[in-house]
Structure 1
Amino acid sequence: MAKRKLPIEIDARNLPPLGMPAEDFLRDYWQKKPLLIRNAFPDFISPISPEDLAGLACEDGVLARVVAHEREHDKWLLRHGPFPEEMFPAMPQHDWTLLVQDVDKWDADIAALLRSFAFLPRWRMDDVMISFAAPGGSVGAHVDQYDVFLLQAYGRRRWQIDARPSPPLQFRNDVELKLLQRFTASHDWLLGPGDMLYLPPGVPHHGVAEDACLTFSFGMRAPAAAELLGDFVDTLAADADESLRYRDPDLAPANDPNEIDAAAMQRVVEALNALRMNDPDRLGDWFGRFITLYRSAGEAVAHGETRSRIEIEWDLQHGALLQRHPWTRMAWRKATRGATLFAAGHDYPTPVKDAQRIAAADRIDDHGYLALSERGRDLVHELLQGGHYQLLLPDEDEA
């Protein structure tokens, strides 16, 4: 039987945001094939304006860049924020792009869009980057090594991709950006508000603004093997017992005292193997801490909460909420005994149901708090003291 040819374009108006069940998308497209999804977000209206984005790019602590293209000389210019407020009104009318990372950490309406991707592990989502492009604006033909969903939020952008097997991936050496030396499009689409392009890792693509436009980029976190290994080795070294050393009790007289022979190398392997994490819980705890740390500088900071636990619980009973810090990523895993909750690079043993409830809740109200065990409530209080939650009183929540 001939293999069914999968479409590369689909209309999702009747089944947003994928136009198909999540199971079908993950089976047929995820990390396998690109997909243009028309009407992924039907009748979409951007919750952020270009002016709001420009204002955010002027704030300290916000990761922002401006990429400009001088077409006459094919010269690319890159500037890093924060930017002075007076810069944007003076920008040219074409051929530049503003990119702002982690907008979901700064804007609750943008963060709410992540619920549409609940079919993916939450800890795999890195951030929502938003770009504003003047007409002709682009960041050049490039390739990403992670999955990305590109949602057109405002205006129109033309996307070209090279979906052929083994496309050329050599980079230019005359620009600061990682741009491709050669790019030949196999597909060419014009996207309007609500349309979304899914790209698996390694697919060359090139987007150019047809008119002033906003594009939301939902990027997945996919650590390189070298990044995983580096952090893993650092953890092994930090926890290593000083008594674990290179040993050679079976040493025989050397044929050549200057040679590093095969027996010596075998002892090196044995010394390294002594450091391996053979305990699945230790390995899982390392990965949970690693993957819940954001790569950017933002982090929760202890705020010296002066209210006692009794006062906090009284506040919850009277309509207060505990709001998770936007930079605190959480996940959990089953352990030999119970579970472990991971929060911003820290691990906390806790019952399974507590770990599930805390990791799933961006906000905890009195009902959610009372549903936790005593250990779970202790943990929430500990996280609050560490700055991972903010207590919102009823009037503050309404504001």
Structure 2
Amino acid sequence: MYQLTFDTQAFIKKHWQQTPVVLTQAFEDFVDPIAADELAGLACEEEISSRIVVTEANQNQWNVIQGPFEDYDAYGETHWQLLVQAVNHWYPDSQPLVDAFRFLPDWRFDDLMVSFATPLGGVGPHIDNYDVFIIQGEGERRWKVGNKGDHKRRGGDENSPLVEDFEPIIGVVLKKGDVLYIPPGYPHCGETLSLAISYSIGFRAPSQQELLTQLADSLIDNNSGHQRFTSDSEALEPGIVSQEQQQGIMQLLAELATQPEKYQTMLGKLLSQNRFELDICEGEEPLDLEELQQVIEDGASILRIGGLKVLRLENDNISRLFINGEVFALENVTEAELVSFANTVNLDNELAATMFDNLAIAELLVELINQGLYYLAE
């Protein structure tokens, strides 16, 4: 169990998406949920996203090698860092650490990245477009965080996250249990002082590009969005688009945001998807309702696979859940039951038995288990 020591609601009001902050001993008596050799083992797997960043001797260049990795001897004892994405998808013992940050909504959560770093290892000064909590496990790392501003991209590459050196507003050595929170847009850089394991819990929101792309696809799929611009006056010059008409045309998009039937399904599907592959847990033979009822009566619990998002939309006019980019309509299910299903990661035996009393939820559980998105546990 991982319990944060700071006031989460005060943090949201004062720092969330506003200012970086060091949260000293945010976890008391912190225990690493994964060991370095176990992390190295995950990075051997083809389906798991991993990379090694090697810091060149002059520390002005960082070379990235994409995984999977079979051997680490070639990298030596210093100046490199292994990073493994979505560890919570593949290593269930890391889920309790993720759960500690569920004071923020699940739709924002991206993944748990875990890194193992040798002395003088790092990834260089960079800027992220998402919120991140950096949790220090074993070892120590020195972090610098700069202020927002017009930071030059390293090497003049505007597509690179790396930036030129910056003036720090935070300089700190993180020790086990310390947390550094960094909002989007703040340059930061970490340097390893001793063999260290760090955990990065990222939170991401969709961009305008992503929203418009998904909205356009949704309108096409549903043969919707046919309204065209009209006006009762025209410009006097034939070769001009008036400011009024520019705004009127773009207002067509703004109007879609006032029509939930146009965007809610798209939004629920988009926000419940994962960027990284899930560890699907399909059984050898599909279950039916009677078989699932029997195993629940025998004491089984029902658990979500790591990283799975189960979301509902406030003020949705349809009784449904959004799970892994799909829509699951649920008639004759109460709001309280939807809330419980969406908020509960692990259905213990008592809760599973209670939910199974509702036929619609029982059928949903069978479907999700057979899809490998939930699984049975003793």
TM-score bin (small chain):
0.7 to 0.9
Partner of 1:30: 16
Write the mapping of 1:224-303 to structure 2, written as runs, cut at 5 A.
224-241=207-224, 244=226, 269=249, 276=256, 278-298=258-278, 300=280
- Seen in structure 2, the aligned counterparts of structure 1 residues 386 and 277 have a Cα distance that, compared at 3 Å, is farther
> Structure 2 length normalisation: TM-score?
0.86
Please point out which of 122, 129, 133 is paired with 2:117: 133
Amino acid across the alignment from 2:15: Y
- Seen in structure 2, the aligned counterparts of structure 1 residues 142 and 285 have a Cα distance that, compared at 3 Å, is same
Please point out which of 355, 362, 367 is paired with 1:377: 362
Amino acid across the alignment from 1:343: I
Q: In angstroms, what is the RMSD of aligned CA positions?
A: 3.2
Write the mapping of 1:1-399 to structure 2, written as runs, cut at 5 A.
17-19=4-6, 21-72=7-58, 74-83=60-69, 85=70, 87-163=71-147, 166-173=148-155, 178-241=161-224, 244=226, 269=249, 276=256, 278-298=258-278, 300=280, 305-337=285-317, 339-350=319-330, 351-372=334-355, 373-392=358-377, 394=378
Higher relative contact order (CA 8 A, sep 6+): 2
Amino acid across the alignment from 2:112: V
Provide, for residues 29-71 of structure 1, a one-character-per-residue CA deviation record: whole Å limited to 9, x for no partner.
1111111111111121212111111111011100001110112
Structure 2, gaps ≥5 residues long:
none
- Rg (Cα) greater in structure: 1
Contact conserved, 2:281 with 2:374, CA < 8 A, in 1?
no
Cα separation, 2, equivalents of 1:146 and 1:76: 21
> Structure 1 length normalisation: TM-score?
0.82
Provide, for residues 142-172 of structure 1, a one-character-per-residue CA deviation record: whole Å limited to 9, x for no partner.
1112111100011000011113xx4342211
- Seen in structure 2, the aligned counterparts of structure 1 residues 160 and 260 have a Cα distance that, compared at 3 Å, is closer
Structure 1, gaps ≥5 residues long:
1-14, 395-399
Amino acid across the alignment from 1:17: L
Cα separation, 2, equivalents of 1:325 and 1:356: 19
Shift in Å at residue 273 of structure 1?
5.8
Range that drifts further, 66-75 or 110-119: 66-75
- Seen in structure 2, the aligned counterparts of structure 1 residues 109 and 76 have a Cα distance that, compared at 3 Å, is same
Cα separation, 1, equivalents of 2:115 and 2:254: 48
Cα separation, 1, equivalents of 2:105 and 2:251: 36
Shift in Å at residue 323 of structure 1?
2.2
Cα separation, 2, equivalents of 1:229 and 1:273: 9
